[in-house]
Amino acid sequence: MKTPNDPVMLARMNGLMRWSAAAAITLIMTGCSTVVVQPTPTANTSGGALRPVPSAAQLAGTYTVVKGDTLYSIAFRNGADFRDVARLNGIASPYTIWPGQVLKLPGHGAEPVHAAPPVVAKAPPSPPATSAPVFKSADTTPTPNKVPSPPSPAHASSAAPIATVTPVAPANPTPAVAATPVAAGGSTRTAGGVKWRWPASGSLAGRFQANAAIPGIDIEGKEGQPVVAAADGVVVYSGNGLVGYGELIIIKHNDSLLSAYGHNRKRLVTEGQQVKAGQQIAEMGSGSGSRDELQFQIRKDGSPVDPLDYLPSR
């Protein structure tokens, strides 16, 4: 029997220990040479800062009804045709909605999501200089297509809704125009199956620009002067829940055409009320600047059009 001090046994034990240590080091190096750190899901919209990935509701393009909303004001706010909003949500005339109801919006999906690549941290030794970088440079990161945002007679409630969309300043400012006298009433013009007249007396102070935050015309006058219906119709919105419009009235003339009257000092009509062309519906107020004016719009199938193509010539 060999004793613990036997040279052969000691040599074998030393060799076994050296082999075990080498195997352990190899296993550690093999299993831990690369550590992958997965960041919180984000989306890159411009090759620069990352933002959280949109929620499922944002991707679907939805709007939650609040007090004061009507189907017409929601469609108006989002640049959509009220009929498309109604069809998409299975809402029949008279288009009853209620606070808390979630509506789908046509053509308002979120931006495409670009998930950020995982951050890879490598253990020493450092990788060779020729290794590929972890992130692409900013000028090679794809930029997704922008989707227009993005500021809407069944009424959710009589209270004013919460502002949901902040208008963005237009890329090209409205050019200065010479003051053109206009007068309410008087001559009429038929366009789109509707007989139109001017909604207020005053000077044409701002012309139509399709890409403006509030695409319409500005009629400068005096505070408190009459604002009249530009054509026969029914009031489908009377409130102050759309940011940038102040006290706003929207009139439906037929299934295709609406007119809108913003920056009023006082509204004189209520939702569901039938009005005649030339009937006073409001008192003129002031706009975002210092002048007293009516901000007037016409929308065809949900899209803004130049009111001067519908109103009688002056």
Per-residue pLDDT of 239-280, as tens digits, reads 999 988 999 999 999 999 999 999 999 999 999 999 999 999
Domains: count for the chain: 2
Residues of the chain with pLDDT under 70: 1-60, 108-186, 288
Query: Reduced to 3 states, what is the DSSP secondary structure of residue 96?
Result: coil
Residues 89 and 191 both lie in one domain? no
Specify the pLDDT at position 155: 55
Domain end among 97, 132, 161: 161
pLDDT digits (tens, 9 = 90+) for 99-119: 999 999 987 543 333 333 444
For position 135, which CATH number holds? 3.10.350.10
Among 279, 251, 282, 278, smallest CA distance to 265 is for 282
Residues 148 and 44 both lie in one domain? yes
d(CA 184, CA 201): 5
d(CA 153, CA 75): 12
Distances (CA, A) of 292 to 119, 141, 266: 57, 48, 13
Distances (CA, A) of 140 to 43, 151, 293: 15, 33, 48
Residues 208 and 271 both lie in one domain? yes
Residues 191 and 149 both lie in one domain? no
Residues 156 and 44 both lie in one domain? yes
Residue 246 counted as domain residue: yes
Residues 42 and 134 both lie in one domain? yes
Specify the pLDDT at position 3: 54
Residue 123 counted as domain residue: yes
- % of the chain with per-residue pLDDT over 70: 55
Question: What is the residue range of 131's domain?
Answer: 38-161
pTM of the shown model: 0.59
Specify the pLDDT at position 19: 52
Residues 212 and 128 both lie in one domain? no
For residue 123, give every residue at least 6 positions away whose Cβ sits within 8 Å of its Cβ, in sequence order, or none. 32, 33, 34, 35
Residues 145 and 257 both lie in one domain? no
Residue 196 counted as domain residue: yes
- For the chain, count helices (H), then strands (E): 4, 19
Residues 55 and 144 both lie in one domain? yes
